[in-house]
Structure 1
Amino acid sequence: MGWFSLAIGLVSLCLMVCTVSGIGANWGTQASHPLPPDTVVRLLRDNGFQKVKLFDADYGALRALGKSGIEVMVGIPNDMLQSLASSVKAAEKWVAKNVSTHITTNNVNIRYVAVGNEPFLETYNGSFLKTTFPALQNVQSALIKAGLSNQVKVTVPLNADVYASSTGLPSGGDFRADIHDLMLAIVKFLSDNSGPFTVNIYPFISLYIDPDFPVEYAFFDGNATPLNDGGTSYYNMFDANYDTLVWALQKNGFGNLPIIVGEIGWPTDGDRNANRMYAQRFNQGFMSHISGGRGTPMRPVTVDAYLFSLIDEDAKSIDPGNFERHWGVFTYYGVPKYPLNLGTTNSGSLVQARNVDYLDRKWCVMKPSAKLDDPQVQPSVSYACGRADCTSLGYGTSCGNLDARGNISYAFNSYYQRNNQLDDACKFPNLSMITKTDPTVGDCRFEIMIEPYYGGAERTRGCLQMPLSLVSGLGLFLLTLL
């Protein structure tokens, strides 16, 4: 099979879209210093987002969404599927606490419950194959018992690897052979209960994994050589991937099942193809492509989707790739990364978060007198990167052009900021110093962290969670320093 078939079956590793009812965003919270929920909800409203997708049922986020009018898809993490699958009572308790209470008490506009998140990824080796469907059934039963099943619908956000094409064309689409019966059972259940099929589609991942993937086919400019499927021309991967799913549903008797694109987006750092220029090109192209309800060749109607993602998350796992922490349309402190017209604001521009509190303007850097061949350099950098975020360092990244001293300073500062600028977090032996001179170089920003948010608890400068013992081998990166 060719590159298209590979792209269709690719494992997406993480990640929005336009509808008549408005644009949606994924709000992830795996951040060392998350913005206060009220700030994020104001950010959503200021930018005209009418829908938000959560990955759990965080109380603070849901409470902040109360009376906002924003439609909410609340998530159930994969590690909860087992308990919900094995007990209807557990599902009823979860629905009462995380759905009913917020609807009745806080006036949160919850419209969907997402049961699991990409639970059938092949990389999970079948871990959730036996629990996802029973959990889905029990949550639905709990919604019925709570009298909410007409208002709140269940769904399962799935990766695009649950379907594939036997011909390399959309019309060859069908569900993956190893889970075909399970997928049909779930699809029938969704259809019977008026729930949508939710899918995450990532052209970036195709480009990341397959070096032969044609770059232009990831975008919406019409510059790619089209894929011809029985007279239908596909000029971009999104349309082809989406219609492969449409064909899979149609072949199995569910051609009218609603589809939601749960995640779609492009990262801005951590890989040579993850940059602000490509991200702006993709997301703006996507918005333009789906505006006016044009849809895809097989479904020329409004596409319902959620951009991935709203804000960067500096504490996400980077097992899939260093880009995982950089999907945000906004930085972790709520500043737009690039121009993007969502068609939802009067200005046609993104509006940054308001009233964000930053730590002091100071940084931790390598001392000018410190030597690169100091034996403490490697373990110090390894320690700092292992406990902070160095994913902007490396080939093709925003800080990929730093020299050796710059790499070391970046690592030190990342650790220092992660630890709320504590003096002890800038005491790498004979190597580091605190400066008030911004070490930012070109596009490589040496960030200042925002004030920590403790969910209403008293704000303090905190303390280091572990002593600064420099152990060689710790960390996520082995930087080439010399």
Structure 2
Amino acid sequence: MTSTLFSMITVLLFCVFAVVEVVESGIGVNWGTVALHKLSPETVVDLLKDNKIEKVKLFDADPDVLKALMGSGIEVMVGIPNEMLAVLSSSASVADLWVSQNVSRYMVKGGVNIKYVAVGNEPFLTSYSGQYQSYVFPALTNLQQSLAKGNLAGMVKLVVPCNADAYESSLPSQGAFRPELAQIMMQIVSFLSSNGSPFVVNIYPFLSLYGNSDFPQDYAFFEGTTHPVVDGPNVYYNAYDGNFDTLLAALSKIGYGHMPIVIGEIGWPTDGALGANLSAARLFNKGLVNRVLSNKGTPLRPGVPPMDVYLFSLLDEGAKSVLPGNFERHWGIFSFDGQAKYSLNLGNGLLKNAKDVHYLPSRWCVANPTRDLSAVANHFKLACSFADCTTLNYGGSCNGIGEKGNISYAFNGYYQLQKQNPRTCEFDGLGIVTFRDPSVGDCRFLVGVTDGKSSGFRLNSGRIVSSLIIFGGIFTVVV
């Protein structure tokens, strides 16, 4: 072998290994805005930058949020709500308008680094009974044409975040898409592959544990288990690996086993249910981050981790629907006011709190200790129909504070939401303002923030969803 040829081979090998070395998983976050007390978008962007979080996934294209992200360099996945899929699938001009207003407008010098557009959010959930199924692929097609018209098709990729219930199996190697999704998944995956897009999947070991009393608790985490799943030569010690490889098997069955994968949502809630607490959330997310940063991969794809992993979520969202469970409002690694709930290192040091958050004065509304509270039920119901009372439920951090504590918590939630208007603590004389923090242990009585907008009525779908909750004999409707 000549020295020249040897040198060429050495250079080629160096380039190959250099390429492999830089392909590492990135850790991003989901930024949802269905909140009662909202930090300003600028404060949240500063929080992302201070924590060196370089990727963020949105559920819509809020112009205030996108304006705040301009010039930040943060890689963004913009979302299109499921409710928009029908009109986008039926009208190319609507798709053109959406891309123009929500992508092209921000893809300018010093603008927003939009990498993905998420077309719908878990549109194939079994609970939707197929209502969005026929719209997804036509919407993808129209939006792709719109991106091409704007000369953005090479820079912005369309994706379809799917819940893990899109596929099923008793063992990972037998994974397959649900039979009713077989045709549409073949269309979508083929489309994604031909356009250089990854498959985005949301994986929630917590929900597997929450919904199945027989699910081994230690299998939901990354510390090993006494109940491993044996699948031929492969042994699975955690739900994440098993779920990921079930998807790989499903993709392989339709000819796309090498499809790049992004984890669109994964996390652990800190309140609102048994098993949803600070220590469990920290344990899960710490294990997840260590796993992602190790680039270990899974038994069916060793050494090849997902392209990116987006933690769910950045902040608590106190106005989300509680139909899936009261934990829905407590997924944040930060509380609503941008304060880290527990120590966590995302690879860039421990989480740092949001800076320059402006709070209302340190005062709270509580039950008046001198009054008979026997007629409080309607006031309690009113307060919790606006404020978030989910922590009072069984398994919640405020479940054990007693009936008077429950009343005070509800009154204070309403009072803070109303910007501490003195009249909103009256409750026919049953409420009283105090300057002494009534928080007890892990049960935190919040003080509202003033640097953002407050809105306790908007859910993802724009509809009010009610569910009946009982606290110690007191009834309330949470919207």
Q: TM-score, normalised by structure 2?
A: 0.90
- Residues 480/335 of structure 1: CA separation in 2 closer, same or farther (3 Å cut): same
Q: Using the alignment, how far apart are the partners of 2:226 and 2:409 within structure 1?
A: 38
For 1:414, the aligned partner's letter is G
> Post-superposition shift, 1:475?
7.6
Judge conservation of contact 2:316–2:332 (CA < 8 Å) in 1.
yes
Look up the match of 1:339.
343
3-state SS of paired residue (2:249): helix
My pick for the range that moved more, 99-108 or 119-128, is: 99-108
The reply on whether 1:121 has 2:111 as its aligned counterpart is no
> Post-superposition shift, 1:225?
2.0
Look up the match of 1:358.
359
Look up the match of 1:53.
57
For 1:31, the aligned partner's letter is A
Look up the match of 1:79.
83
Q: Using the alignment, how far apart are the partners of 1:224 and 1:354 within structure 2?
A: 43
Judge conservation of contact 1:357–1:450 (CA < 8 Å) in 2.
yes
Judge conservation of contact 1:25–1:310 (CA < 8 Å) in 2.
yes
The reply on whether 1:316 has 2:308 as its aligned counterpart is no
Judge conservation of contact 2:367–2:431 (CA < 8 Å) in 1.
yes
Look up the match of 1:302.
305
Q: Which structure is larger by alpha-carbon Rg, 1 or 2?
A: 2
The reply on whether 1:384 has 2:383 as its aligned counterpart is yes
Look up the match of 1:477.
469
- Residues 236/464 of structure 1: CA separation in 2 closer, same or farther (3 Å cut): closer
> Post-superposition shift, 1:410?
0.4
For 1:428, the aligned partner's letter is F
Q: Using the alignment, how far apart are the partners of 1:478 and 1:23 within structure 2?
A: 39
For 1:271, the aligned partner's letter is A
| Structure 1 runs not aligned, ≥5 long | 1-18, 455-461, 466-473
> Post-superposition shift, 1:452?
4.8
Q: Using the alignment, how far apart are the partners of 2:257 and 2:427 within structure 1?
A: 61
For residues 363-411 of structure 1, what are the alpha-carbon distances to aligned partners after superposition, in whole Å with 9 as ceiling and x for unaligned? Answer: 0000011224x22x11111111111100110212111110110011001
Q: Using the alignment, how far apart are the partners of 1:224 and 1:38 within structure 2?
A: 46
For 2:193, the aligned partner's letter is S
Judge conservation of contact 1:382–1:475 (CA < 8 Å) in 2.
no
Judge conservation of contact 1:363–1:413 (CA < 8 Å) in 2.
yes
Judge conservation of contact 1:384–1:475 (CA < 8 Å) in 2.
no
Q: Using the alignment, how far apart are the partners of 2:74 and 2:147 within structure 1?
A: 20
Look up the match of 2:4.
none
Look up the match of 1:131.
135
For 1:357, the aligned partner's letter is H
Match runs of 1:422-441 below 5 Å: 422-441=421-440
> Post-superposition shift, 1:213?
0.6
Judge conservation of contact 2:334–2:341 (CA < 8 Å) in 1.
yes
Look up the match of 1:8.
none
The reply on whether 1:142 has 2:146 as its aligned counterpart is yes
For 2:471, the aligned partner's letter is L
Look up the match of 2:15.
none
Match runs of 1:104-119 below 5 Å: 104=108, 106-119=110-123
The reply on whether 1:178 has 2:180 as its aligned counterpart is yes
For residues 181-230 of structure 1, what are the alpha-carbon distances to aligned partners after superposition, in whole Å with 9 as ceiling and x for unaligned? Answer: 11111111111111111100000001111111100000000133211111
Match runs of 1:170-319 below 5 Å: 170-300=172-302, 301-303=304-306, 304-319=308-323
Q: Using the alignment, how far apart are the partners of 1:452 and 1:42 within structure 2?
A: 14
Judge conservation of contact 1:364–1:412 (CA < 8 Å) in 2.
yes
3-state SS of paired residue (1:113): strand
Judge conservation of contact 2:189–2:199 (CA < 8 Å) in 1.
yes
For residues 96-118 of structure 1, what are the alpha-carbon distances to aligned partners after superposition, in whole Å with 9 as ceiling and x for unaligned? Answer: 11001101165211000000000
Judge conservation of contact 1:63–1:106 (CA < 8 Å) in 2.
no
For 1:479, the aligned partner's letter is F
Q: Using the alignment, how far apart are the partners of 2:277 and 2:161 within structure 1?
A: 26
> Post-superposition shift, 1:22?
2.9
My pick for the range that moved more, 169-178 or 104-113, is: 104-113
For 1:56, the aligned partner's letter is D
Judge conservation of contact 1:22–1:49 (CA < 8 Å) in 2.
no
Q: Using the alignment, how far apart are the partners of 1:464 and 1:78 within structure 2?
A: 21
For residues 18-38 of structure 1, what are the alpha-carbon distances to aligned partners after superposition, in whole Å with 9 as ceiling and x for unaligned? Answer: x83631000000112211111
- Residues 365/122 of structure 1: CA separation in 2 closer, same or farther (3 Å cut): same
My pick for the range that moved more, 131-140 or 327-336, is: 131-140
Q: Using the alignment, how far apart are the partners of 1:220 and 1:296 within structure 2?
A: 13
Q: Using the alignment, how far apart are the partners of 2:382 and 2:188 within structure 1?
A: 45
My pick for the range that moved more, 130-139 or 112-121, is: 130-139
Look up the match of 1:404.
403
- Residues 273/156 of structure 1: CA separation in 2 closer, same or farther (3 Å cut): same
- Residues 463/400 of structure 1: CA separation in 2 closer, same or farther (3 Å cut): closer
One of 32, 44, 47 as aligned partner of 1:43: 47
Judge conservation of contact 1:222–1:236 (CA < 8 Å) in 2.
yes
> Post-superposition shift, 1:476?
4.5
For 1:112, the aligned partner's letter is Y
Look up the match of 2:331.
327
Judge conservation of contact 1:385–1:475 (CA < 8 Å) in 2.
no
3-state SS of paired residue (1:477): strand
> Post-superposition shift, 1:464?
12
For residues 126-164 of structure 1, what are the alpha-carbon distances to aligned partners after superposition, in whole Å with 9 as ceiling and x for unaligned? Answer: 110111111111111111111111110000001000000
> Post-superposition shift, 1:64?
1.2
Judge conservation of contact 2:78–2:117 (CA < 8 Å) in 1.
yes
Q: Using the alignment, how far apart are the partners of 2:120 and 2:467 within structure 1?
A: 30
Q: Using the alignment, how far apart are the partners of 1:481 and 1:422 within structure 2?
A: 29
Q: TM-score, normalised by structure 1?
A: 0.89
Look up the match of 1:153.
157
Look up the match of 2:74.
70
For residues 429-459 of structure 1, what are the alpha-carbon distances to aligned partners after superposition, in whole Å with 9 as ceiling and x for unaligned? Answer: 13111111110111101010111525xxxxx
| Structure 2 runs not aligned, ≥5 long | 1-22, 458-465, 475-479
Q: Using the alignment, how far apart are the partners of 2:224 and 2:472 within structure 1?
A: 40
Judge conservation of contact 2:25–2:309 (CA < 8 Å) in 1.
no
Judge conservation of contact 2:25–2:295 (CA < 8 Å) in 1.
no
